[in-house]
Structure 1
Amino acid sequence: MMSDTMIAIRSLLDEQEAAWAAGDAEAFARAALPDIVFTNVVGMFSIGRAGFIAQHRHIFSSFYRGSIMTQAIEQVTFARPDVAIVNTLTEVSRFDALPPAFATRGGVLRSRLEQVLGDNGGGWQVAAFHNVIVHPDAASAAPSPGAA
């Protein structure tokens, strides 16, 4: 059984997935702090909610229009009871032609997304959002977690 905290974190991820599917950048950023630190899959970096929304508005209106993104939780680490580092494996599908730097396999783009969440008593919010593409060839050659 999941704790209330894990249910709340999963709910935040579910809201992000729904906003992505709707192509709604403002809804996708609903939980973003005003000074969110954002690094996207190609290394673009910004600080602030406006930049986070602008970049998602751009991708939702171009190559990610009509796409679906899912997040599978791989690890949640609590730095404190009110600070969680949430690592997910994301999969994006049903997209248009992607930029050349995006490596896909079988029509799916996979990435590792790390979000730093904080709860100030009013619900979990995203302080940092860092996303990197999982290159299909590198992923197949990588040792499994915990392998010596």
Structure 2
Amino acid sequence: MEKTFLMVKPDGVQRGLIGEVVNRFEKKGFKLSAAKLMVISEDLAKQHYGEHAERPFFGELVDFITSGPVFAMIWEGEDVVKTARHMMGSTKPSEAALGTIRGDLGLTVGKNIIHGSDSLESAGREIELFFGSSTEISYDKPVEQWIY
């Protein structure tokens, strides 16, 4: 079963959208195996967004993601990385399809509610960064027999 890392960003937390985001992934049939509300340190933010370090918006990105609490999550399911990307929608909310998280709830490129891993490799790296050796909860969901 694939795993992915998703994070409700500070704008989503402040707007009270954690439940809305979690609800969408649960309705899709994915399983939440770990979650925590946290404030990201500047060091963690720089590691997380390291691929953008040379871009002109890097400082603003770090400032934003450290500006308030985030809700970090690990989700499991068939093709969860690819499906989560579709459910999130385009990075630019104005270009995101209605019915996606960003299309329905996002405001701007910077305030687009959610971050999600873009590949299995990124998911592994991001899960390690945010959860380290924290134990994920393993449990059975009776509904899985109807999904997989």
Task: Flag whether TM exceeds 0.5 (same fold).
Answer: no
Q: Relative CO higher for 1 or 2, CA cutoff 8 Å, sep ≥ 6?
A: 2
Instruction: Give the structure with the higher percent strand.
Output: 1
Please, what TM-score do these two structures have when normalized by structure 2?
0.29
Instruction: Give the structure with the higher percent helix.
Output: 2
